[in-house]
Structures are given as structure tokens and as C-alpha cells.
Amino acid sequence: MAKHYFRLFSSASLVLSFMVLQAEVVWGQGGTERRKEMVPAMFIFGDSLIDNGNNNNLPSFAKANYPPYGIDFNGGPTGRFSNGYTMVDEIAELLGLPLIPAYSEASGDQVLHGVNYASAAAGILDITGRNFVGRIPFGQQISNFQTTLDQITENLAADDVARAIAKCIFFVGMGSNDYLNNYLMPNYNTKNQYNAQQFADLLAQQYTQQLTRLYNLGARRFVIAGVGRMGCIPSILAQSPNGTCSEDVNRLVLPFNANVKTMINNLNTNLPGSRSIYIDIARMFEDVVTNARAYGFSVANRGCCGIGRNRGQITCLPMQTPCPNRDQYVFWDAYHPTAAVNILIGRKAFSGDPSKVYPMNIQQLATLNIETN
């Protein structure tokens, strides 16, 4: 199990992996060349947009460990909700890291460059996603990171661990399911309890506490992804009378994204020695859809794999035959982008300007000299 993996290594090998920069050019998976490592590791928290297998062994309806998921990924259907790469896969490569393993499967020296704790159907709120049964909410993901941290500090001095962790990237992408699989679900009472602003405030309050908990565990470099234009995903388009984006849904999530930006400013002010940045997923996605052809996409209003209207009424089923021209599709299934879009957004987050990633991009964050406490 993941919680035991750090016992496999000596202190020397862990210090080497965390503290020593690698060669100028190192070799990644399959013998492909990758660049110099910019950070020691990346720790990832989120939902199905970046889950890479943590739900595989859970009693959950939110799984993607079957074909045709992973049809364009070297490892096949690993549990990624994509035909290939997720956004964090691309970011890991740009940082010079190998692909980050799932917490549920990590073992051996795979874990030394970080761990992915993300879980499909997970939310900021623990009750989010219960329709899918098994999932790992953000709070539990943080507890899983704490287990990882406890295992590291069994073999290393606490000061060494703190210095190493402070150099690592902490990528967090939460919130989508708190709307799709909570607020907008008819069997939840949330919509009757809160209006849009009140719900966004509730999420921001909980989110702030959770990120502060990560800070108290040593995290110092936060990358926070906003929620995208959910009113334009195939699942929502399939419910629209004329097949167009639901502006009601798009407007619903605006207060959340606004709150997250404010939260990031507050974290940068109130958490000494830390720096948080915001990826404006909604703006990036709007740019991709609006300028789809300029980016090489010809289909932006239906999934590549799915059933029914906009191929979004039922998401991608086991052994279903997906579209052959996947790189021309914005959406892979009823809810998730194709690998082509994930790679594009990952690159924009890594090196984009402040209109897309604020107040600096991931590349700048990775190289920023932060005075840590």
C-alpha cells in the first residue's frame, strides 16, 4: 500500500532525490528525453480532471480504468478520464519531472518526485459526489498527504523534509464536483439552502481552511486551478433545448472563481513564506472554444466518446468505439477534455501571461526565491 512505500528507501537516497538537482538532461518514461528538473516534486490534489487511478480499487461508479479511456496513453486505461494526458501530466513534463504516480498505486522510487491524490467525484465538501459512492474528498486527500509526510519524516530529519517540501509544487484543482455533483443534483438539498453567492462563500471558507492545513504541513508553492465553463460541457449541452451553452450554469460558478482569486490574494498576504497562483481555467477554455479552429479543433460541442445528444447523455462506456480524429475534438467524453486540450491548457498554465495564470505562471513560481519559515 502507498502508506508503506517510503520505508523502502534509505535516508541517503531520499535526501538525494529531494535535495539534489538532476543532470541537465535526464531520461523519462520510454526513453524519451526530458528537461532538467525545476522542482524536487509535485503533489497533486483534485478530481476526475486530474485523477490518474486513485478510484480504481474503490467501490465507486466514477472510474475510467477501462478502454477506450487511455487509448492514446502509453499505459493504456490507467484511470485517467482522458484518451491520453491530463493537464498535470503535461505540467509534470514541463517541470522536468516524470509522470506523477497515483497514491493508491505508488511504490518504490516512483514516489520520489511526488504523488497524485486526486479522486474522481471528489469535492471541497465531504458530501459532494456521494451519488458515485466511493471517492476521496479533498480533506481526506490532505490526510493521505500527511501519511506520506509521516513516512518521509520517519527516515529524515524534520528540517530536511521541511526545506525539501517548501521547494515542491502543490497543485490543487477542486470545486467542479461541488456544483455538478452536489449543487446541481436534484437529490441534494444544497440549492434550497444556499443561493449562488452563499454557496460560493461556503466553498471558499472551507477551501481556505484546507489549503491552510496544507501550509501547516509544509506546502509553500500552491497552484490553484479555477472551475471551467461548465455550462458548455457535453453533459450540460445535452440538456439544453437548443444545444447551446447554459449561461445559467456558467453564471452559477462565477462567484466561486471570484472567491478563489480573493482567497489567493489573502493566502499570499496571510501565510508567510508562501506563494499561491491562480489558473484561470474558465478564460483558457473560453479561448479554446471561441478560437477552436485556430487551435486545430473542429468539434467543440460534443464528446468524442459518449451516447445520446452531443454524446453527453451517457458518458464513455466500456469498449465503446470513440471518434477516430480525437485531436480535433475539444471534449473526450461528457465531462472531460481531450488530451490535446489538456496539453494545451497545461502549457498555458506553465508559461502563460497574467491574463491566464495570476499573478505569475508555474514556471515563474518554480524558480521563485521564497523566504520560507
Highest mean pLDDT among 95-109, 140-154, 304-318 belongs to 304-318
In the prediction, which pLDDT does 315 show? 95
Q: Are 111 and 14 in contact (CB under 8 A)?
A: no
314 bridge partner residues: 307
**pLDDT beyond 80 at 341:** yes
359 bridge partner residues: none
Catalytic residue status for 4: no
Question: Residue 75: how many CA atoms within 13 Å on its side-chain side?
Answer: 14
**pLDDT beyond 80 at 6:** no
Reported pTM: 0.92
- Is residue 236 a part of any domain in this protein? no
**pLDDT beyond 60 at 23:** no
Q: Are 190 and 128 in contact (CB under 8 A)?
A: no
Catalytic residue status for 178: no
Range of the domain at 69: 2-230+241-283
In the prediction, which pLDDT does 243 show? 83
- Is residue 117 a part of any domain in this protein? yes
Q: Number of structural domains, the chain?
A: 1
Q: Binning pLDDT at 50, 70 and 90, where does residue 276 land?
A: very high
**pLDDT beyond 90 at 151:** no
Longest dimension (CA), the chain: 62
CB neighbourhood size of 134 (10 A): 18
Mean pLDDT for the stretch of residues 35-58 = 96
In the prediction, which pLDDT does 160 show? 85
Find the catalytic residue in 240, 274, 336, 351: 336
Q: Binning pLDDT at 50, 70 and 90, where does residue 246 land?
A: very high
State the average pLDDT for the chain: 90
Contacts of 264 (CB under 8 A, 6+ apart): 222, 224, 276, 277, 278, 358
- Is residue 358 a part of any domain in this protein? no
Mean pLDDT for the stretch of residues 133-151 = 95
**pLDDT beyond 60 at 12:** no
Tell me the per-residue pLDDT of 96-121, one tens digit each, with 9 for 90 and over.
999 999 999 987 667 789 999 999 99
**pLDDT beyond 50 at 15:** no
Mean pLDDT for the stretch of residues 343-363 = 97
| Least confident span in 14-18, 77-81, 153-157, 329-333 | 14-18
Catalytic residue status for 336: yes
- Is residue 152 a part of any domain in this protein? yes
In the prediction, which pLDDT does 108 show? 62
Q: Binning pLDDT at 50, 70 and 90, where does residue 242 land?
A: confident
Tell me the per-residue pLDDT of 189-228, one tens digit each, with 9 for 90 and over.
999 999 999 999 999 999 999 999 999 999 999 999 999 9
- Is residue 70 a part of any domain in this protein? yes
Q: Binning pLDDT at 50, 70 and 90, where does residue 13 land?
A: very low
In the prediction, which pLDDT does 335 show? 97
- Is residue 302 a part of any domain in this protein? no
- Is residue 128 a part of any domain in this protein? yes
| Least confident span in 101-115, 204-218, 265-279, 302-316 | 101-115
CATH code, domain carrying 187? 3.40.50
- Is residue 311 a part of any domain in this protein? no
C-alpha cell at 111: 514516489
Find the catalytic residue in 48, 82, 176, 276: 48
Find the catalytic residue in 72, 178, 280, 333: 333
